[in-house]
A and B are shown apart, each in its own frame.
Chain A
């Protein structure tokens, strides 16, 4: 059986040579351009990524990055409020945007021959946004309703917000992307304008164009529309407050009658993928899979969902894409009648057993195969590839890092995994959160 899988892995190595076709350029004003060719359908995805997110916000102005993202769909010197999206729709396309801790990105998906129009409008709103108080106030209510919908109405999201705030003692990853409610209420026109003026500049962007395009033509268009925008000389170096050594585990209980059943989350501070040094992150990808990837074959799934049936759900996850330190997390939802303390003890026993046991080589082979195959499946989703490059390049990685990642994943050994587990699964750097409907469930 093992030998058969090894043969399979070799075949898959050949497949991976068939990777996405990527061309990169740097404009004179500091804008990076990434072109991903996929000629299967006459479609293009045009994405502009700003290297600024909620974790770059000034203190006391949480939510400004996200609020500004909303306002980017309002007017500019030549576009009426709403006209940007109207033109995209009139051309049969769709558009939207998203804000994260490390980036803010705007994208349109249109017929490939409409790319120039998208660049014309997107480049226009990089420097010419009109922040009109008459537009800001209704939009503030929209943002508050968004926060209501995503967070205030959702006990799991509220719990997550509390746990994250405890996980990060100094870094702004501890503050929600959408912002604290009281700070959204108080964001001023000046907060928005200053953030826009400083960060919305070509030398703070990555342009990703993916689909049925010719890279040279994309470069030419990018020069025409984006290349003429001057760089922002005041753009600060991207240095954020780092985490101090974390010396004490934090334990929280979030009580909310809207919680349907008790569960627990354990998160640990963990290293992220760094440029030229992605090996630890790669080992953490395997660690998450081995401990809690599949309900059927991971250690937590086997022990808690099959052997003892103490849990209805278990999971381990690792978010390696991050500019600064990230987290490695576990979730356990106990079976009816199993106390959280019992479930937590059982989870910790699984982790302890993992540290003391050999890692099954067959599972390593299977994971390597799945990771290889995921690269093949990823080629079917051009927009997904565009997001992969955009996120990486705004989170401190290079195109070379993105392309090296699959091979780095393949090279991970059981020793790498054990040593990173030893380092990361340290309770002093951890938050353990219980989520319950009432105090009686917190046992």
Chain B
């Protein structure tokens, strides 16, 4: 009886929809490239901008500068104070979001068609003419310091900090982009100007525009918005290897549930085996309820509310990581099961049936992602950053389907290294001690 539904409904899967979006590539007179999707049915525009480089560009001794600089873009520009800027933005009902990540700076904007010109002019002012007033700097610095204080008592963030420091050492990946109390306290207005000058540059710019706008409008729009930024920025960071060997690091912290962050080296996004690795990761730990780790650690044993893994191909390093939380009494069991599953996949690979259902899910889920202007804009800008062509939207499912069971089993043996896994555990775990 039980498996009947599955059998019936696997049968009528055959034709999964393809993403039906019409991506147009634009190069402005000023040389800015963008991907555009015209979607006039709702009177607003979603704009996504990325700058490669990100907080990695912090100068020596200035950790936290890029992050603080991004926080200050909405805190006064042109002739406007922070409050005047926000009052103007609110009156336009536009939203701007400025965020720093390790490899990337991200600017997300949404504005009504009616207010397009004013909203873009205001955004331009924030990006090109930030004032970095001392009062704003001090106020936002206090907010960043408050965040750092909070991170120091958060088990997840503690785990992350210890893991990154051990894996990447002196490379910027080894420290949090927020900086330290000491480094943030030392930052000056000049540091903000330098961080802005180094990071918001046209040579590392990626743009997507989706919504109630025509392709012809986009070029002039982007030249006006971004054309006054400098062309070239500070040099990018070198690549760095994953420097953490297998083992366990326990960080003593008085809390009832231990948090474990674990991982080892990973795979580059442009590796020819990336899709095989992607499917392996899905079946092992990224496929929600269906993943092996969720099945073994949560469903069967009740050791956690959630466990997940991820392939993390950064621009200058690659890793495969995972996270699980379990009571101090049971975290050792959760870790043992995780290591066993890692080994089982490495040594035995997966079954043809598992591969087939992973492919069905992954190819079926892909077109469903394109279901809103903001969503499409985010996906498109992400594709550009890793050098994918617009045709990838159509071809991507073929890449998934082309992966064979032999590929999977070969790549699993290479990628997954159960003995190289390092677990950073924050809590009062029973039956676990730091190795080394």
Interface residues of A (CB under 8 A from B): 5, 8, 11-12, 15, 18, 40-43, 73, 75, 78-83, 85-87, 89-94, 109-111, 113, 117, 121, 137-146, 148-149, 152-153, 211, 257-261, 294, 296-297, 302, 305-306, 309, 312-313, 333, 335-336, 365-367, 369-370, 372-374, 376-377, 379-382
Cβ of A140: which chain B residues have Cβ within 8 Å of it? 302
Inter-chain contacts of B370 with A (CB < 8 A) = 41
The CA of A113 and the CA of B14, in the complex, are separated in Å by 12
A87 in contact with B91 (CB, 8 Å): no
**Complex Cα spacing A205 to B362, Å:** 32
Mark contacts of B2-21 with chain A using CB atoms, 8 A cut-off: 1 yes-contact digit, 0 otherwise: 11111001100100110010
A93 to B357, CA, bound (A): 12
| Partner pick for B87 among A145, A296, A376, CB 8 A cutoff | A296
A40-B43 in contact (CB<8A): no
Q: In the complex, are the beta carbons of A117 and B9 less than 8 A apart?
A: yes
What are 23 A-B pairs with beta-carbon distances under 8 A?
A: A12-B93, A15-B43, A40-B41, A79-B2, A87-B5, A91-B364, A110-B368, A111-B368, A140-B302, A142-B298, A148-B325, A149-B306, A261-B150, A296-B86, A297-B90, A305-B139, A312-B143, A367-B90, A369-B91, A370-B90, A374-B93, A376-B44, A380-B42
B365 at the interface (CB under 8 A from A): yes
- B110 adjacent to chain A (CB < 8 Å): yes
A367 to B257, CA, bound (A): 43
Instruction: State whether B142 touches A335 (Cβ < 8 A).
Output: yes
Measured between C-beta atoms, what is the minimum distance from B16 to chain A in Å? 6
Most central of A86, A146, A261, A374 by chain B CB within 10 Å: A86
- Judge whether A149 and B305 touch: CB under 8 Å: yes
A82-B289, A89-B290, A312-B142 known; A153-B153 Cβ under 8 A: no
Q: Which residues on the B side are within 8 Å of A261 (C-beta)?
A: 146, 149-150
Contacts of A43 in B (CB 8 A): 367-368, 371
Candidates B255, B303, B366; contact of A258 at CB < 8 Å: B255
Nearest-neighbor residue (CB-CB) of B325 within chain A = A149
Q: How far is the CA of A372 from the CA of B112 in the complex (A)?
A: 11
Contact A89 B90 (CB under 8 A): no
Query: A258–B17 Cα gap in the complex (Å)?
Result: 49
Q: How far, in angstroms, from A43 to B325 measured CA to CA in the complex?
A: 33
Select B2's contact among A80, A110, A312, beta carbons within 8 Å: A80
Q: Is B374 an interface residue (CB 8 A)?
A: yes
Contact partner of B327 among A8, A83, A145, A369, CB < 8 A? A145
Contact B368 A92 (CB under 8 A): yes
For the complex, is B299 an interface residue (Cβ under 8 Å from A)?
yes
Q: A78-B4, A117-B9, A142-B304 are in contact. Are A260 and B149 (CB under 8 A)?
A: yes
Report B295-332 residues with CB < 8 Å from chain A CB: 295, 298-306, 325-327
Q: In the complex, A32 Cα to B260 Cα: how many Å?
A: 44
B155 interface residue (CB < 8 Å to A): yes
Minimum CB–CB distance from A109 to chain B (whole Å) comes to 6
- By the criterion CB–CB under 8 Å, are A376 and B305 in contact? no
- Complex interface: chain B residues within 8 A of A306 (CB): 82-83, 139
The residue among A117, A140, A309, A373 with the most chain B CB atoms within 10 A of its own CB is A373
Q: A40-B39, A336-B145 are in contact. List 13 more A-B contacts (CB 8 A).
A: A8-B114, A79-B2, A91-B360, A92-B363, A113-B17, A141-B303, A152-B257, A153-B256, A258-B153, A296-B82, A376-B42, A376-B43, A380-B42
Please, how many angstroms separate the alpha-carbon atoms of A78 and B39 in the complex?
43
Instruction: Name the CB-closest residue of A to B358.
Output: A89
B3 contacts A80, CB within 8 Å? yes
Contact A42/B361 with A145-B257, A152-B256, A153-B255 known, Cβ cut-off 8 Å: no
Min CB distance A327 to B, Å, is 24
A381-B87 contact given A85-B290, A153-B257, A260-B152, CB 8 Å threshold: no
Is B389 at the interface (CB under 8 A from chain A)?
Answer: no
- Verify if B386 is at the interface (C-beta below 8 Å from A): no
Contacts of A42 in B (CB 8 A): 17, 20, 367
Contact A138 B372 (CB under 8 A): no
Query: Which B residues touch A146, using CB under 8 A?
Result: 305
Instruction: Say yes or no: A90 contacts B9, CB within 8 Å.
Output: yes
Which chain B positions have C-beta within 8 A of A73? 289
With contacts A109-B368, A296-B83 taken as known, whether A145 is within 8 angstroms of B303 at the C-beta atoms is yes
Q: Once bound together, how far apart are the Cα atoms of A75 and B142, in whole Å?
A: 52
Q: How far, in whole Å, are A110 and B247 apart by their CA atoms in the complex?
A: 41
Complex Cα gap A292–B148 (Å): 24
With A294-B86, A302-B83 already in contact, the answer to whether A89 and B287 are too (CB < 8 A) is: yes
CB atoms of B302 and A380 under 8 A apart: no
* Minimum CB distance partner of B155 in chain A: A153
Contacts of A93 in B (CB 8 A): 364-365, 368
User: Which of A111, A117, A367 contacts B364, CB < 8 Å?
Assistant: A111
Least Cβ distance of B219 to chain A in Å? 24
Chain B residues whose C-beta falls within 8 Å of the C-beta of A366 in the assembled complex: 87, 90-91
Residues of B within 8 A of A367 (CB): 90
Q: How far is the CB of B126 from chain A (nearest CB, A)?
A: 13
Smallest Cβ-Cβ distance to B357: which chain A residue? A90
Chain B residues, Cβ within 8 Å of A143: 305
Query: When the two chains form the complex, which single residue of A121, A302, A370, A377 contacts B110, counting CB atoms closer than 8 Å?
Result: A377
Q: What's the Cα separation between A80 and B151 when bound, in Å?
A: 42
Determine how close the nearest CB of chain B comes to the CB of A102; give it in whole angstroms: 23
- Closest-CB distance, B20 to chain A (whole angstroms): 7
